[in-house]
Structure 1
């Protein structure tokens, strides 16, 4: 491997780690019912489609929705998010496939969100996201 390829691999690995930290913050904000922390992860003009199919345009709408639904939502449950795959569309734009598992006393629900993220001012942000349920809990 040439030095250029080594540098690119190291740089890509660092970007993947930074992306994983954003996804970990999504998990933290949901488990701890922190709507402001969650909304802060998005670009101002972001698009979010919830697991229930609600389309939200812009951080303000995402924040308003999250402030309505998140407090109390995790009372009897937990959620985990695991980055399954990162596709760099450009060095500053990535499509991130995530495995999401909600656990309750009744069992678990599995989702498979797609987060399109962009790096702006040195920070990865959620840009266009679609949360999709997995039928019968199969991932």
Structure 2
């Protein structure tokens, strides 16, 4: 493996850690941990199409919905593909599965992430449900 390949794998591992933190913060209803992953000027579109502009709006929404929002439910996130647009900007396709006693719902978020001060941050994100899987 070349040095370039090793560096790319290291960046992918760091991106996967951000996605793992999204999963952990949602399953454990930790809104501050979730909100802390975003850039100050981030854009988030929820799975129901609500558009949120900026970390403050994302925080207000998350603090309203996350506590209790996953009652009797768990969610998993799996990085399916990473496209580096630039070395410090990546489009990350994620497979999201919400599980309840009644079954599961699948989503397919797209996280555009940017590397800021050595840390990957959620920058522009769209959460989309999958109707048939």
Q: TM-score range by the shorter chain?
A: over 0.9
1:1-139 to 2 correspondence within 5 Å?
6-136=2-132, 138=133
Normalization by structure 1: what TM-score?
0.94
What's the CA shift string for 1:72-128, capped at 9, x where partnerless? Answer: 011100000000000000000000000000000111000000000000000000000
Gaps of 5+ in 1: none
Q: Report the RMSD for the aligned CA atoms in angstroms.
A: 0.8
Between structure 1 and structure 2, the one with the greater Rg is 1
Aligned length: 133
What's the CA shift string for 1:14-63, capped at 9, x where partnerless? Answer: 00000000000000000000000000000000000000000000000000
Gaps of 5+ in 2: none
Structure 1 ranges of 4+ moved more than 4 A: none
